[in-house]
Amino acid sequence: MIPQKPSQEDYNNWHQDPNNWYLGMFYYNKADKRMFVPKKLKWAGFTINFANSLAILITIAFLFFMYTLIRLK
């Protein structure tokens, strides 16, 4: 049996659920497989889903890259 892709209604419900927002600004939802999700204020852009391991890995790699660039100056 093939798992169904979440509907737009599921995405909207997850986004509005305060339990998926840590400190009101960090999105964490294991059921949501998206790496980038709209911020709580949708007009403000996107944030990462901290439950997505690939998103965490990319964030750590980016921070390490920025740290390395700063240290080379």
Place of tokens 């497989």: 33
The rounded distance, in Å, linking the Cα atoms of 13 and 23 is: 18
**What's the confidence (pLDDT) of residue 21?**
95
Q: Is the pLDDT of residue 73 over 80?
A: no
Q: How many domains does the chain have?
A: 1
6-29, pLDDT tens digit by residue? 889 999 999 999 999 999 889 999
Q: Is residue 50 part of a domain?
A: yes
Which has the higher per-residue pLDDT, 4 or 56? 56
3-class DSSP assignment, residue 27:
strand
Evaluate if pTM is beyond 0.85.
no
Q: Is the pLDDT of residue 61 over 90?
A: yes
For residue 56, give its domain range.
8-72
**What's the confidence (pLDDT) of residue 5?**
86
The rounded distance, in Å, linking the Cα atoms of 28 and 48 is: 9
Q: Is residue 3 part of a domain?
A: no
